[in-house]
């Protein structure tokens, strides 16, 4: 959670709640409260501004009517911004899709390790030595996703930590001359979760708030699975979009299935 320093010595010009709304509005328009940033709770704001919860709620309602903030179940109050859209029908990276809509993407490596896989990873990628890399993806410097990627370590023997921050694994595997593995397709499963404590800390959202978990297996041109990725997206930051072709007879969207 990112905490903002608030100036509680507001010069009173009219009702107290309007003064508080004015200061919060200035922080939003000035950029110190960024798009989709979660505000401190009403209780914390009440303490920061030495005001009642009713006064704080009235100030936030003013900003909601003006379109600056909104409240979401599980998150509390946050600065309004349209969610970032990702297409389910495209075989591309998150970074490519963000760049196309004018959002600056960046990766920040948390850690990496070489290890022998768990039974779950071995079933997908084979029982061989693996590289695991954890990263935070940022959109205009706002934490957007926690990403963990597994791949056979032999495919990553010439990669460095700086490579993991500058490039996607798609780029690394398809452009390096030592080992080129053209990638052909990916299969992904998306589910709704309550965000865990560590991911909440990394992504700056409340523990237990809604999130989307995406598990993606990526295959090379020979049909062999060579990448397994886990993405955790705060629920208010992203939405997935799929196009339904008119000739499909099934009532279920293509690429989606119900789970028990």
Task: Give per-residue pLDDT as tens, 120-131.
Answer: 999 999 999 999
In a shared domain, residues 21 and 64? yes
Q: For residue range 105-158, what is the model confidence (pLDDT) as tens digits? A: 899 999 999 999 999 999 999 999 999 999 999 988 888 899 999 999 998 888
The pLDDT > 90 percentage for the chain reads 41
Q: For residue range 9-39, what is the model confidence (pLDDT) as tens digits? A: 445 556 899 999 999 988 888 777 777 778 8
In a shared domain, residues 63 and 126? no
Q: For residue range 205-243, what is the model confidence (pLDDT) as tens digits? A: 888 888 999 999 999 888 999 999 999 998 877 878 777
In a shared domain, residues 90 and 185? yes
Q: Assess if residue 132 is contained within a domain.
A: yes
Total domains in the chain come to 2
Give pLDDT, residue 255.
Answer: 53
Residue 20: give the domain boundaries. Answer: 16-79
Give pLDDT, residue 213.
Answer: 95
In a shared domain, residues 122 and 33? no
What is the C-alpha separation between 204 and 58, in angstroms, rounded? 25
In a shared domain, residues 197 and 132? yes
In a shared domain, residues 35 and 150? no
Q: What are the Cα distances from residue 222, in Å, to 110, 125, 151, 187, 189?
A: 31, 14, 16, 15, 22
Q: Which of 72-76, 88-92, 235-239 has the lowest average pLDDT?
A: 88-92
What is the C-alpha separation between 88 and 112, in angstroms, rounded? 28
């Amino acid at each position: 959670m990112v905490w903002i320093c608030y100036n509680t010595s507001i010069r009173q010009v009219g009702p107290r709640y309007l003064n508080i709304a004015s200061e919060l509005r200035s922080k939003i328009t000035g950029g110190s409260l960024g798009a989709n940033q979660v505000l401190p709770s009403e209780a914390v704001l009440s303490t920061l501004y030495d005001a009642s919860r009713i006064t704080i709620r009235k100030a936030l309602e003013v900003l909601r009517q003006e379109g600056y903030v909104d409240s979401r179940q599980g998150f509390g109050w946050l600065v309004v911004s349209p969610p970032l859209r990702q297409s389910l029908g495209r075989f591309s990276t998150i970074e490519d899709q963000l760049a196309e809509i004018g959002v600056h993407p960046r990766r920040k490596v948390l850690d990496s390790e070489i290890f022998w896989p768990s039974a779950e990873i071995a079933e997908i990628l084979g029982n061989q030595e693996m590289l695991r890399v954890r990263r935070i993806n940022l959109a205009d410097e706002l934490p957007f996703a926690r990403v963990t990627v597994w791949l056979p370590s032999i495919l990553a023997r010439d990669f460095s930590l700086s490579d993991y921050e500058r490039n996607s694994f798609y780029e690394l595997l398809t452009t390096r001359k030592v080992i080129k593995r053209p990638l052909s397709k990916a299969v992904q499963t998306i589910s709704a979760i309550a965000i865990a404590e560590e991911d909440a800390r990394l992504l700056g959202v409340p523990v237990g708030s809604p999130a989307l978990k995406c598990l993606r297996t990526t295959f090379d041109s020979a049909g062999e699975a060579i990448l397994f990725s886990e993405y955790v997206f705060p629920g208010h930051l992203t939405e997935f979009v799929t196009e339904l072709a008119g000739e499909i007879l099934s009532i279920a969207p293509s690429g989606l299935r119900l789970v028990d």
